[in-house]
Amino acid sequence: MRVLVTGGAGFIGSAACRRLVAEGHAVANIDKLTYAANPKSLAALAGDPRYRFERDDICDAAAMTRIFAAHEPDAVLHLAAESHVDRSISDAADFVRTNLLGTYQLLEAARQYWGRLPAGRASRFRFIHVSTDEVFGSAPEGRFREDTRYRPSSPYSASKAGSDHLAGAWHKTYGLPVIICNCSNNYGPYQFPEKLIPLAVLNAFDGRPVPVYGDGSNVRDWLFVEDFVDGLLAVVQHGAVGQSYNFGSGRETTNLEIVEQICATLDSLVPNGRPRRALISFVPDRPGHDRRYAIDPTKARNELGWRPRIELETGLARTVKWYVENPAWWGPLRSNIYRGERLGLVEARR
Q: Are 316 and 197 in contact (CB under 8 A)?
A: yes
155 found inside a domain: yes
Choosing from 82, 133, 227, 230, which is the catalytic residue? 133
The reply to whether 259 falls in a domain is no
Number of domains in the chain: 1
Q: How far apart are CA 23 and CA 221, in angstroms?
A: 28
Phi/psi for 77 (5° steps) reads -110, 105
Is 60 catalytic? The answer is no
* Residue among 134, 164, 226, 252 flagged as catalytic: 134
Report which of 88, 330, 336 is spatially closest to residue 205, judged by C-alpha positions: 330
- 156 labelled catalytic: yes
The number of beta carbons lying within 10 Å of the beta carbon of residue 229 is: 21
Residue 89 lies in domain: 2-184+224-249+294-310
What is the pTM assigned to this prediction? 0.96
Q: Is position 133 annotated as part of the catalytic site?
A: yes
Whether 200 is in a domain gets the answer no
What confidence tens digit (pLDDT) does each residue in 270-294 have?
A: 999 899 999 999 999 999 999 999 9
Does residue 316 sit within a domain? no
Best CA proximity match to 102, nearest among 48, 166, 41: 166
Catalytically annotated residue among 156, 213, 323, 338: 156
Q: Is residue 28 part of a domain?
A: yes
Mean pLDDT (10-residue bins), the chain, 350 residues: 98 98 98 97 97 98 98 98 96 97 98 98 98 97 97 98 98 98 98 98 97 97 98 98 97 97 98 95 95 97 98 98 98 94 67
Using alpha carbons, select from 330, 306, 307, 326 the residue that is nearest to residue 318: 326
d(Cα 75, Cα 3) in Å, to the nearest integer? 5
C-alpha distances in Å from residue 36, one per residue of 80, 129, 144, 304: 11, 20, 28, 31
